[in-house]
Structure 1
Amino acid sequence: MNLNLEYHRSPIRYITSRTATGTIATGRAAGWWAANMSPVRLVNRPDPRLPGPGWTRVKPLLSGICGSDLGLLTGRNSPYLSALISLPFTPGHEVVGETLDALPDLPKGSRVVLDPVLGCVPRAVKLCPACEADQHSRCDHITSGMVSAALQTGFCADTGGGWSRMFVAHGSQLHKVPDEIDDERAVLVEPLACAIHSVRRIPIPDGASVLVVGAGTVGLFTTLALREYTKAGPIYVIARYGHQRERAREMGATEVLSSDRAARALRRATGGFLARPEQGAEFLLGGTDIAFDCTSGSGLDTALRVVRAGGTVLLSGMPNASVDLTPAWFRELNLVGAYASGGGDFPDAMALAKSAPLTGYVDATYPLSRWRDAIGHASSSGRLGSIKVAFDPTKDQ
């Protein structure tokens, strides 16, 4: 039997969690609600079956808890995504694991990381234009084919996910992990690939000034990718907590700003005029050339208010809060999304994981049996001084 954490649709808990976490957005209370009111349950199910040729069973060694997972459990994710999942599903898409079946290019027992997108190849359907162009994150066929509807592994009823002792994956989704990369680094490869993908979504001119809003996993890895793969000039990072500020500097930030003083600090750094509306936050006439929103909250509002006219704001974190789009209209901003990864992002992320200063990023692991503690910790990770919290399904307690 396969022990796993299953997500079930519960309209009452969804509404209750969304209302409560909207009121108590941070701190112990938010963590308690995420852990105790989310519609997940620990269950034993039969081992998942292989959907077809080219698939393998995978034993997770570590599986990260992502901000999008927490948004799901607290009812903050957009209802838009409800058409792109199949229930009940087992979350977990940041995974390092071990294959349990032999594939032509991947022997049984291989240590692998998962590219979670379920595009045309694993679904065994004719390639859509996006998948033909090696941009499977834009796949048009994620609701068809041999497995049930899902944007990714971790949202699919047929594949399972990393918050379990076993799930299934197609060989095209798996990347072999070199021996010199330990599990704690390997489980970070997927979010690293997403960060690399996001900085490749837009042209970043040499010397351009860039703001990164948020210094959780997404923001820190975006800062690293900007330094490694672009010739950006000054990189400013907005960080809330002390340990995030230290990590941001390690990743190459030029200057780290507090959220309540960001507009004023950027006025001094980039020039411009600070405007104060009757309601809402102050904003700049002037500002950085580019901003990356790497939050799941109010980061987009901040980014829109401190980018120069004609500049670009890239959404890297999953948006789940209302925002005033007036700056996008009035300042003629370019608003660009970045979802998952594509092309050569995973191989580059694997190479980067070997050398990047990632020691200690995964500083808390929990067995599945302590899932409430794990989710509570992840929900309060900033306050508790953590970057990445993960499940270790190989542990009993």
Structure 2
Amino acid sequence: SAKIVDQPVPAIKKERDVVRIRYVGVCGSDKERGFQRKVTNEKPIIMGHEAAGTIDAVGPAVTSFKVGDNVAIEPGFPCRRCKNCKDGLYNLCPDMNFLSSQRTFVYKVPDDVSLQETVLVEPTAVAVHAARLVEIKYGQTVVVTGSGTVGLLCGAVAKAFGARRVILVDILQKKLDFAESFMDCQTFLVDAQSASEDTASAISRAFGIDEGVDVVIEASGALTGIFLLKSGGSYVQAGLGKAKPEVPMLALSEKELRARGCFRYGSDDYEQALSLITDGCVKVGALLSSIAPFDSATLAWDKTAKGNGIKNIIEGVRDYPV
């Protein structure tokens, strides 16, 4: 269950900002309580990692922001001391904390990007991270399985990275219809009862890709994509997926496929996501489906849980005491 709890306004620190949250997006991991890592071991959980806000106060050592600036917030900061952090894999830091307003994890947003659109920087950064993990190159063919928020953004980012052909796959026709209106792509409706290999064969016949595709980005929890890859192709698990899937190891081995996991985002992913949105390469405004007032936040969660809309967002508290 969810409830509204009053919290004190954070005290300003030397190198910190205080950000007034204006909007947060509802993520699939919110409704499933699947946002893993340290945060899930602490109860109650404060939801809202897809956040956009306005600088409300700045510490005396902060020079990169001023009060009133609109910002995107990367919802977590690493310890900077563990081996993963030192290796540049700060998204895999075992001591990652959520949520902080360290100035190095706050990004100024230009005036022509709305705060509602800024909520989509976070899932766009997930898509950027996935695309970089599989090294999408100009002229490639990319299949994205699943066309929810993450799948749509993965497809759009793949196009922005130079993919010649993007095919989105889903079990719901309404999602595929939206995908075609959102971006330049082809779509395929999957029979949810079909076996993964049969579905892959049907997709190959439909699009004349008998030799396989270059990249598969998985954002649905299905394993169809592995059977679609060409020899030496790349697969990345961008969605949460199943905890213990049955992986077709023979296909993985015989084709020498490259398979990668994908957790959140890493160095420069957030900046690149914001740049893609700012430059109009990824038009996130079309993904915004509804805005719920703060005192009716559960409406947005309910809509998301029922599969209504693409990105349902919650407006922050309009006024609070200083």
TM normalised by structure 2 equals 0.83
Deviation at 1:241, TM superposition (A): 3.9
Establish whether residue 232 from structure 1 lines up as the match of residue 156 from structure 2: no
Distance in 2, Cα, partners of 1:192 & 1:83: 22
Establish whether residue 219 from structure 1 lines up as the match of residue 151 from structure 2: yes
Deviation at 1:47, TM superposition (A): 1.0
Give the letter for the 1:55 counterpart.
R
1:43 is paired with a residue of what secondary structure?
Answer: coil
Distance in 1, Cα, partners of 2:67 & 2:151: 35
> Which residue in the other structure is 1:187 paired with?
119
Establish whether residue 70 from structure 1 lines up as the match of residue 31 from structure 2: yes
1:110-149 to structure 2, matched below 5 A, reads: 110-120=69-79, 126-132=80-86, 134-142=88-96
Q: Is the 8 A contact 1:237 1:253 kept in 2?
A: no
TM normalised by structure 1 equals 0.68
Summarize deviations over 1:9-55 as a string: whole Å, max 9, x none: xxxxxxxxxxxxxxxxxxxxxxxxxxxxxxx3213233154495423
Q: CA RMSD, aligned part only?
A: 2.8
Distance in 2, Cα, partners of 1:251 & 1:225: 12
Distance in 2, Cα, partners of 1:271 & 1:180: 40
Summarize deviations over 1:335-381 as a string: whole Å, max 9, x none: 20122222322222222223133333212111232233221101123
Summarize deviations over 1:95-115 as a string: whole Å, max 9, x none: 111222213122223221111
- Greater CA deviation, 250-259 or 185-194? 250-259
> Which residue in the other structure is 1:277 paired with?
none
Q: Is the 8 A contact 1:42 1:369 kept in 2?
A: no
2:32 is paired with a residue of what secondary structure?
Answer: helix
Identity of aligned residues (%): 21
Deviation at 1:251, TM superposition (A): 5.1
Distance in 2, Cα, partners of 1:206 & 1:350: 21
Give the letter for the 2:72 counterpart.
V
Deviation at 1:62, TM superposition (A): 0.8
- Greater CA deviation, 196-205 or 258-267? 258-267
Q: Is the 8 A contact 2:50 2:119 kept in 1?
A: yes
Residues 348, 378 of structure 1: alpha-carbon distance in 2 compared, 3 angstrom cutoff: same
> Which residue in the other structure is 2:214 paired with?
289
1:1-397 to structure 2, matched below 5 A, reads: 40-47=1-8, 49-50=10-11, 53-72=14-33, 77=34, 81=37, 85-103=41-59, 104=62, 105-120=64-79, 126-132=80-86, 134-142=88-96, 150=97, 152-153=98-99, 169-229=101-161, 231-250=162-181, 252-260=183-191, 262-263=199-200, 264-272=202-210, 287-295=212-220, 298-299=221-222, 301-327=223-249, 328=252, 331-354=255-278, 355=280, 356-381=282-307, 384=308, 386-394=309-317
Which segments of 5 or more consecutive residues in structure 2 lack a partner in the other structure?
none
Give the letter for the 1:361 counterpart.
L
> Which residue in the other structure is 1:161 paired with?
none
Deviation at 1:216, TM superposition (A): 1.1
Q: Is the 8 A contact 2:145 2:219 kept in 1?
A: yes
Distance in 2, Cα, partners of 1:352 & 1:222: 12
> Which residue in the other structure is 1:19 paired with?
none
2:49 is paired with a residue of what secondary structure?
Answer: coil
Q: Is the 8 A contact 2:167 2:185 kept in 1?
A: yes
Q: Is the 8 A contact 2:18 2:58 kept in 1?
A: no
Give the letter for the 1:265 counterpart.
I
Distance in 2, Cα, partners of 1:307 & 1:69: 31
